[in-house]
Amino acid sequence: MIGSARIELATVDSTNKHAADLLHLTEVQHGTVILAREQTLGRGQRDRPWRSQPGLDLTFSVVLRPDGLDAGHQFVLAQFAALAVRDALQRTGVPDVMVKWPNDVLVGPRKVAGILIQNELQGGRVRHSVLGIGLNVNSDGDVDGALATSVRLELGRTVDPEALLSGLLDRLELRWRQAMGHRAGLEADYRDALWGRGRWLPMELDGAPIEARPLEVDAEGRLLVELQGGAVAPFGLDRLRFGPR
C-alpha cells in the first residue's frame, strides 16, 4: 500500500533523485514514501528549481510499480496523482481546487502543489515510476515565477503537515486502485477538475500566442482544445502551453 514503508530524511538534494538512486541500488517496494524536511536541490517540471520552506511544506516522493502499464497510457499516473492531491486538499476544507493540465494543482488561479513524475520504461511498459509532490502547506507558497498560494493562506490557519500527508497518502492509495483498475471514474473526475475547461484562454502553440478553449484530455494525455475558427485538435506539451496568466 502507498505509505506503508516510509524513509524520512532531514535534508536531501531531491527526494525524486534519492528515490531514483535507491531504485538503481536495490528493490524498492511499491508505495515506499521518501519524505524530506528540506530539499537543497528540489526539481520541478522542465528542470526548474522547486523551493519550499523546511518544516513548513511537504516535499516527498513515492515509488510506484504500475504492473504492466502500457507506456502509451502513462498519463494515468499524472491523473491519479493530481486528483489525489485535489481530494486531500478538498477534505481539508480548501475550496475551488482545480488541476491545470497536465498536473499542477491550483486554488483559483494560484498554484498550491507541483507534481513531477519520472517513469522508467522497458519494452513499451512502465517498469517503475517516481512520483514527486511538493505541496505548499504553511509557507507563503513561493513558486518560481508563478502565482502561488499555500494551504495556510487559503484556510487562514496553520495546518499540521503530518495530518495532511496522512490524508494525502490515503487518497493516493484510493486513486491508485482506480488508476490500475477501471479508469472511467478517474478520467471523468479529471475532466471535471480541469482548470479553464470551456474558457477561452491565452495559450502558446508552437511558440506563437493563440486563444484556445481546453475541453478535455485524450488517453495519451494530450489536451483537446477548440481553436478560434472552430477546429478541435489534441496537442501535447511539446506544442501547447498555457500562456502567461
Q: Does 14 bind ligand BTN (CB under 6 A)?
A: yes
**Residue 65 and residue 105: Cα distance in Å, rounded?**
23
The site that binds ligand BTN (CB under 6 A) totals a number of residues, namely 20
Q: Which CB, 104 or 216, lies closer to ligand BTN?
A: 104
Site stretch for ligand BTN (CB under 6 A), options 80-88, 130-138, 173-181, 185-193: 130-138
Task: Count Cα neighbours of 217 within 13 Å in the Cβ-side half-sphere.
Answer: 30
Q: Which amino acid is at 228?
A: Q
Q: Which CB, 43 or 128, lies closer to ligand BTN?
A: 43
Site stretch for ligand BTN (CB under 6 A), options 35-43, 69-77, 201-209, 224-232: 35-43
For every residue of 205-220, DSSP letters joined together read ETTEEEEEEEEEE-TT
Q: How far is the CB of 141 from ligand BTN (least distance, A)?
A: 12
Site stretch for ligand BTN (CB under 6 A), options 21-29, 108-116, 157-165, 180-188: 108-116
The residues near 231 (Cβ < 8 Å, ≥ 6 apart) are none
Q: Does 114 bind ligand BTN (CB under 6 A)?
A: yes
Residue 181 CB neighbour total at 10 angstroms: 10
Q: Which CB, 60 or 75, lies closer to ligand BTN?
A: 60
Q: Which CB, 115 or 165, lies closer to ligand BTN?
A: 115
The residues near 180 (Cβ < 8 Å, ≥ 6 apart) are 66, 67, 69
Site stretch for ligand BTN (CB under 6 A), options 8-16, 93-101, 186-194, 202-210: 8-16
Binding mask 47-86 for ligand BTN (x = CB under 6 A): -x-x--------xxx-------------------------
24 CA to centre of own chain: 24
Classify each residue of 58-95 as buried b or exposed e, where b means 16 or more C-beta atoms within 10 Å of its C-beta: bbbbbbbbbeebeeebbbbbbbbbbbbbbbbbeebebe
- Which residues contact ligand BTN by CB under 6 A? 14-16, 39, 42-45, 48, 50, 59-61, 104, 114-116, 132-134
